[in-house]
Amino acid sequence: MPSAGPARGLIDALLAITLVAFALTSFGFDRAAALDLVAADSPDPFGRWLHWYGIRFDPLVAANPLFLRVMSGVSAFVFGPFYLWAARALWRGDPRLARPAEIYLALMIYSMVVHVAVELWGELPAPDRVVLALVYAPYLVVPFALVRRARALHSAKGRSSAGA
């Protein structure tokens, strides 16, 4: 993994591992929500876990309305593969990561604004806003961190091309 020292290598590794974890949640939990498998007696273990989580901490997740199924489908079938590609690109120091990371950041800001607004002011508000913040904050923090790192890779590529 190309890096500018041990600290940068550690940050890249943590970011790549987080992206892989996001992919796993997309392929497991978001897929179950998109396919409307969120129920206590769901044949899908991820659907059962989402229902358990939803009835305790996030009633909107337990209800799984249409808009959330659509958003979950985008996460499962678009963001999931992107997370794997981005983790690989980051690991390899690919400067082409910058533009897709910026697009991803814009999409996540939009989807988090919609989702959290419904969580806070909709018909099924989350009972504990601290849990809500802890669950959803990484989906804003990580995209910003990814853009910052991807832009650094992109600028490093430009500097190395100019010096060659």
Confidence band of 3 (pLDDT split at 50, 70, 90): very low
The residue among 68, 71, 75 whose CA lies nearest residue 122 is 68
Report if residue 1 sits inside a domain.
Answer: no
Report if residue 72 sits inside a domain.
Answer: yes
Flag the least confident range among 97-106, 115-124, 146-155: 146-155
Report if residue 152 sits inside a domain.
Answer: yes
Report if residue 16 sits inside a domain.
Answer: yes
Place of tokens 């909107």: 60
Checking if the pLDDT of 51 tops 60, the result is yes
Report if residue 18 sits inside a domain.
Answer: yes
pTM for the whole structure: 0.87
Q: Around Cβ 2, how many Cβ atoms within 10 Å?
A: 15
How does pLDDT run across 63-114, given as a tens digit for each residue? 999 999 999 999 999 999 999 999 999 999 898 999 999 999 999 999 999 9
User: In total, how many domains does the chain have?
Assistant: 1
**pLDDT at residue 11, rounded to an integer:** 86
Flag the least confident range among 24-28, 58-62, 79-83, 155-159: 155-159
The residue among 163, 138, 118 whose CA lies nearest residue 22 is 138
Q: Exposed/middle/buried for 112, CB within 10 Å: 0-12, 13-18, 19+?
A: middle
* Residue 115: domain span: 6-163
Packing angle of the helix pair 80-92, 138-163 (nearest 10 deg): 40
